[in-house]
Amino acid sequence: MAGARVVRSSKEIMGVDDFIGAEWDAGYIPFGAAHRRCRVTVRKDAADRFTVYAVASKGDIKLASWDIKTFPCETCAKAFALCLVFGSDYASCNVHDRDGFHDGDLFDGRVAVLCCLMGVDKEAYRSWSDYAIHRVAWIVRLISDGQLDWLTVIRAWEGAEQFRGAKGVSFDGAIGWFYAEVMRGVKMS
């Protein structure tokens, strides 16, 4: 990819392979946020297995974590993680370019990040209604297209949490409120 940062393996950089269990930090979403944020990392789970994780926290409280995607290639995993944090075209693998993942994988990764920021783990997400899944997917699409930023979405979710707590509404009701708040600032073309 033209302009993408090429990711190199730990062995290429330091001369030795990482140990199993080593973690590499790609950064936080949203970048620079201090209160509610999601850390994206790559962990070496086996000699040829590297998993990208998302772990969200609000201050010192862990909200949720997901294992997003597993790769047989260290540099594909690191490039994928960097693309989640900094944008779809940010990085590529020095061996496989972008053949190890595609935009659909990045979209799914952003859904995982948003769910973590909402405090929702994978199991809870699987129990969501189609309505909730569709609303969150549409918000992620707008983030992916650059029409929304992460901070706006996080603020809207925090408002939805307060609305839900104050009014005692259902989760789907909170998702509807969240979606309406987010869409209020989006200009559709």
Q: Which two tokens stand for residue 149?
A: 């930023």
pTM score of the predicted model: 0.90
Q: Are residues 146 and 174 in the same domain?
A: yes
The dihedrals phi and psi of 76, each to the nearest 5 degrees, come to: -65, -45
Say yes or no: 53 and 87 in one domain: yes
Domain that holds residue 65: 1-121
**What is the C-alpha separation between 154 and 142, in angstroms, rounded?**
14
**Domains held by the chain: number:** 2
Asked if residue 111 and residue 29 are part of one domain, the reply reads yes
SS3 159: helix
Whether 151 and 187 map to the same domain: the answer is: yes
> Same structural domain for residues 94 and 160?
no
Burial class (CB in 10 A: 0-12, 13-18, 19+), 32: exposed
Q: Are residues 159 and 83 in the same domain?
A: no
What is the DSSP annotation of 33-68?
-SSEEEEEEEEEEETTEEEEEEEEEETTEEEEEEEE
Measured between alpha carbons, how far is 43 from 53 in angstroms, rounded to an integer? Answer: 8
**C-alpha 104, offset from chain centre:** 13
Res. 187: pLDDT tops 80: no
- Which of the listed residues 70, 88, 121 is the one where a domain comes to its end? 121
Examine the fold and report which residue of 66, 95, 121 is the final residue of a domain before the chain moves on. Answer: 121
CA-CA-CA-CA dihedral for 23, 26, 30, 35, to nearest 10: 30
The number of angstroms, rounded, from the C-alpha of 62 to the middle of its chain's C-alpha atoms is 15
Q: What is the pLDDT of residue 21?
A: 86
Assess whether 116 and 132 both reside in one domain: no
Number of Cβ within a 10 Å radius of residue 173: 14
Instruction: Kindly state whether residues 105 and 142 are assigned to the same domain.
Output: no
Q: Do 117 and 132 sit in the same domain of this protein?
A: no
pLDDT at 1: 46
pLDDT tens per residue, range 90-134: 898 888 887 889 999 999 999 999 999 999 999 999 999 999 999
pLDDT tens per residue across span 6-62: 776 666 666 667 778 889 999 999 876 667 899 999 999 988 899 999 999 998 899
Same domain, 138 and 60: no
Is residue 98 within 8 Å of 82, Cβ to Cβ? no
User: Which helix (H) or strand (E) element contains residue 23?
Assistant: strand 23-29
Do 168 and 116 have their domain in common? no
Is the confidence at residue 186, as pLDDT, over 90?
no
Q: Is there a single domain that holds both residue 20 and residue 106?
A: yes
Closest CA to 90 of 38, 152, 153, 29: 29
| Residue where a domain stops, chosen among 121, 136, 164 | 121
